Structure 1
Amino acid sequence: MNKAKWFTGGLSLLMAAGVTAGCGSSDSGASGSSASPGTASTAAATQAPKKTVQLKMWGGVPAESGPQAVVDAWNKQNPDIQVTYERFVNDDPGNLKLDTALMTGQDADLYVNYTYSRLQKRKESGLALDLSAFKDYNIDEKMGPDAKLWTIDNKYYGLPTKKNLSFIWLNKNALDEAGLPIPPLDWTWDDMKTYAAKLKKDKRWGLLIHESNYMGQVDAATAAIGYTKADGTSNLNNPLASKGFEISFDMMAKDKSMPMYGEQMTSKMPTDTMFLKGEGAMLYAGEFIFRNANNLKDYPRSFKIAFAALPRLSKNETEFKYPAGLGDVVSINAKSPNKEAAWKFLKWYADGGMLPMASGGRLPASKDANVDEAVKLLLAGVETTYDQDSLKKVVFGKFPTFVSTLEQQVIDLRKEEFEKYFLGKQDLKNTLENMAKRHNDFLKQNKK
């Protein structure tokens, strides 16, 4: 009985569908269509429109400095996957904003990590996708051996996309005026201390250090010899680290050739724009400064810029590495519902889609990207405002590099201690001892 009812009802539905299809065919025929009943017109009526995937990428670069041009190019070529860009400032509050978006499920499908510690923390929080799930892209082959520095437990939780390098930006006119040559590649912090003192004027600092590079000289030496000793205990209090802290303090408090730490951090001193205004003769920063240095409309300058490699704390080459390698590590949010689409965009971005970022100093790392084109974009229209010889030797030179692998908790505790020293609240001996003790406590608590 039930089967009979089902059959009768089903037959009625089929007859009704046939009538509807016939009416549709008649209408189509009147408009000149050759579609027959129950074929093309029915398929078109029942096929759901393809849904456009919406992705959001978070990064620290202002949209107008390349990212917007990148997503515009992608969106034009890929109407089925549309990307929008969200800028966050790459500082503690900005990274907190990003982490909140990732954890609370806001739109954040892809995002850029600028330090290993941030990537590690996000991986541990389950917010960075293990990219080994994708088998169609060989990161090591594409990006070279420096990419390995960004692995966590031998896995990639983000794709390094750009060549990374920190160096010393020099006001070439100020050097000439003081009778100082462009420093050699193997100069030391003692040399830079001398340079800074000679270049200092009433309204010009001898040296400015971008906040993100403040521990550069200490990490460059400590990473080369190891953050921990052979016995597994902390090496944060090693003699070279001690020298790095002391020489910075002397330049601030005694020579007065660079701003006091407290003044710089409290006022959020814009060291890059100060350098471009001629308020600093030397600037320790990364290639990201190019985006302002190349913008002569908003940052006009009358001086030529030259470059020096980072100075060493020791003449011994084995006790120094350059904080460089690769950077701008783009991760896919493990909570994103659009992982496949995000991966498709990320591969395109890394292999050349990011080229519009080159004018701001972000040169692609992939072997498949057009590096010559990137260099042209970097220097387009401003070639004569740079010392080409030092630019080639330093910005495009090859150096032994490292990426700091210190956990974020250790970076934070070290900062708490060295701030007391730079603010005059603690002597250097106690500062180093406290760093090592707190690091050792961390190592014991997190022993694997």
Structure 2
Amino acid sequence: MSLLKKKRWIAGITVLVLLTGLIAGCGGKDNNSSASNNESASNGGKSGKPVTLKMWGGVPPESGPQQVIDNWNKEHPDIQIEYVRFVNDDDGNLKLDTAMITGQDVDLYVNYTVSQAAKRVDSNLALDLSQFTDYNIDEKMGADAAGWKIKDKYYGLPTTKSSYFIALNKDALDAAKLPVPKEWTWDELREYAKKLKGSHQYGFIQNMEPFVDPIDSVLSQEGYTKADGTSNLDHPLVKKWLETLNAMMKEDKTTPPLGEQLTSKMPVEQVFLSGDAPMLNIGAWLLRSSNNFTDYPRNFKIAFAPVPRLVDGADKYVSRGGLGDYISINAKSKHQKEAWEFLKWYADGGMAPMAAGGRLPASKDANQDDALKNLLADKRDTYDLDSLMYVMFDNKTPTYVRSLEQEVMDLRAQEYEKYFLGAQTLEQTIDAMVTRHNTFLKQNQK
């Protein structure tokens, strides 16, 4: 099965499963009403038996979640948490959605994009948190929390400060006499990749999760649609991004061809940490691997740079970031009140061990010193601390949260993959993205 057909198959199954859940939900009770769902939880507590909740998340248990769970369980014998790990990719998210739709035990779960969360809200799988009045999300998390509102409500709690960056092999930079950038463009990164390639197979590699962020950094501000309501996917900077990456893949040969990376499932973190590629586009979850010298031994220092801009000038530039790890309570959970108690504790500091995997708490009431200790552990000497602090704390570039509809993300990915694979021209790619986006817009007019 080809890569594109596989993706379409997965998307089709996802839609079918979600539609099945919607149809089933139409004949039942309102799952956002917590009274009946919490009755069994209250009875369970009175019987003396502990309530057991299952939390689904994408972070490996050993990278923080298990320590969080152990800490809670020790302090709360009446409410015990079990952690279930799912991989944050198409297959993993389908597994989570299927578990909820089919009534398997899911009490809390982590959304990693607004589009994922919005689909689950539409499928009645996320609880409206406005019924809880003892926690002010906007006050606790700040103005950036509003980016996670869906239908002007919170159906989850954004818990982390998200950082995306270019991780750099500082030793390789020093050898090439290249400074650690604080502001740069994709053209400048392209030149860095040429100079750093040297004896490496590639000078620059990317995690696929933030791969398309340069487009969204532009369109999240200038609009995914134009003033006349038609698609803006033919924006000049969309073309600039496509041309730049394609040239790096085919002309410079400084970054892997997309087809090769996808079919080989290139372990980009391992490639970077082994010293085989000196630059990596990724997010703060890199630190859960870079702190792990047992599985990822390295002998170089890591520096950090902001994700580049597509053009000179920082006036209108925004980078992906803000808040993340949007944790929802399953609207079908029988233990919503208990789940809410855990979620508040987690957000206000219980999540501190998650910093070992690069996840810093967003709540103003969390102890950031504890989080920093967990973030660096005993490996602080293996990082360029000035650039780390700049990227994670001191960089004042405005941020955005990816909120584009999943269908639009899928259709544009299907088209730019054809371009990078050499199956269609740049012009054909942009025309196809615009045509398909316009069709989507017409079908979803309100």
Q: Same fold (TM over 0.5)?
A: yes
Correspondence 1:287-306 to 2 at 5 A: 287-306=284-303
8 A contact 1:186–1:315 mirrored in 2: no
Confirm whether residue 138 of structure 1 aligns to residue 127 of structure 2: no
The amino acid that maps onto 1:181 is P
Q: What is aligned with 1:317? A: 314
Q: What is aligned with 1:261? A: 258
The amino acid that maps onto 2:340 is W
8 A contact 1:307–1:395 mirrored in 2: no
Q: What is aligned with 2:95? A: 97
Q: Secondary structure at the match of 2:121?
A: helix
Confirm whether residue 68 of structure 1 aligns to residue 66 of structure 2: yes
Q: Secondary structure at the match of 1:439?
A: helix
* Cα offset, 1:257, TM superposition: 0.2
* Cα offset, 1:279, TM superposition: 1.0
Q: What is aligned with 1:340? A: 337
CA 91–165 in structure 1, closer or farther in 2 if over 3 Å, else same:
same
The amino acid that maps onto 2:121 is K
Q: What is aligned with 1:367? A: 364
The runs of at least 4 consecutive aligned structure 1 residues that moved more than 2 Å come to: 47-51, 201-204, 316-320
Q: What is aligned with 2:112? A: 114
Segments of 5+ residues of structure 2 without an aligned counterpart are 1-44
8 A contact 2:186–2:308 mirrored in 1: yes
Q: What is aligned with 2:237? A: 240
Confirm whether residue 416 of structure 1 aligns to residue 414 of structure 2: yes
Q: What is aligned with 1:55? A: 53
* Cα offset, 1:57, TM superposition: 0.1
Correspondence 1:65-214 to 2 at 5 A: 65-183=63-181, 185-214=182-211
Query: What is the alpha-carbon distance in structure 2 between the residues aligned to residue 230 and residue 129 of structure 1?
Result: 35
Q: What is aligned with 1:378? A: 375
CA deviations 1:330-363 (Å, max 9, x no partner) are: 0000111111111111000100110111111110
The amino acid that maps onto 1:107 is D
8 A contact 1:222–1:240 mirrored in 2: no
* Cα offset, 1:50, TM superposition: 2.2
Query: What is the alpha-carbon distance in structure 2 between the residues aligned to residue 351 and residue 258 of structure 1?
Result: 41
8 A contact 2:163–2:391 mirrored in 1: no
8 A contact 2:53–2:81 mirrored in 1: yes
Query: What is the alpha-carbon distance in structure 2 between the residues aligned to residue 373 and residue 80 of structure 1?
Result: 26
Query: What is the alpha-carbon distance in structure 1 between the residues aligned to residue 378 and residue 403 of structure 2?
Result: 38
* Cα offset, 1:318, TM superposition: 4.1
Larger-Rg structure: 1
Segments of 5+ residues of structure 1 without an aligned counterpart are 1-46
Q: What is aligned with 2:283? A: 286
Normalized against structure 1, the TM-score is what?
0.88
The amino acid that maps onto 1:166 is Y
Q: Secondary structure at the match of 1:152?
A: coil
Calculate percent identity across the aligned residue pairs: 59
Match of 2:445 among 426, 429, 447: 447
Query: What is the alpha-carbon distance in structure 1 between the residues aligned to residue 315 and residue 49 of structure 2?
Result: 56
Query: What is the alpha-carbon distance in structure 1 between the residues aligned to residue 193 and residue 352 of structure 2?
Result: 36
Normalized against structure 2, the TM-score is what?
0.88
The amino acid that maps onto 1:133 is Q
Q: What is aligned with 2:353? A: 356
8 A contact 1:224–1:318 mirrored in 2: no
Query: What is the alpha-carbon distance in structure 1 between the residues aligned to residue 402 and residue 343 of structure 2?
Result: 24
Query: What is the alpha-carbon distance in structure 2 between the residues aligned to residue 210 and residue 251 of structure 1?
Result: 16
* Cα offset, 1:316, TM superposition: 3.4
8 A contact 2:54–2:105 mirrored in 1: yes
* Cα offset, 1:48, TM superposition: 6.8
Q: Secondary structure at the match of 1:83?
A: strand
The amino acid that maps onto 1:364 is P
* Cα offset, 1:223, TM superposition: 1.4
Q: What is aligned with 2:325? A: 328
8 A contact 1:128–1:333 mirrored in 2: yes
Query: What is the alpha-carbon distance in structure 2 between the residues aligned to residue 438 and residue 234 of structure 1?
Result: 9
Q: What is aligned with 2:391? A: 394
Query: What is the alpha-carbon distance in structure 2 between the residues aligned to residue 282 and residue 150 of structure 1?
Result: 30
* Cα offset, 1:441, TM superposition: 1.1
CA deviations 1:216-246 (Å, max 9, x no partner) are: 1111122121111122221111001110111
Q: Count the aligned residue pairs.
A: 401
Query: What is the alpha-carbon distance in structure 2 between the residues aligned to residue 261 and residue 48 of structure 1?
Result: 57
Query: What is the alpha-carbon distance in structure 2 between the residues aligned to residue 73 and residue 182 of structure 1?
Result: 39
* Cα offset, 1:389, TM superposition: 1.3
8 A contact 2:302–2:384 mirrored in 1: yes
* Cα offset, 1:248, TM superposition: 0.6
* Cα offset, 1:434, TM superposition: 1.1
* Cα offset, 1:298, TM superposition: 1.9
CA 319–245 in structure 1, closer or farther in 2 if over 3 Å, else same:
farther
8 A contact 2:317–2:397 mirrored in 1: no
Query: What is the alpha-carbon distance in structure 2 between the residues aligned to residue 432 and residue 353 of structure 1?
Result: 46
Query: What is the alpha-carbon distance in structure 1 between the residues aligned to residue 50 and residue 299 of structure 2?
Result: 49
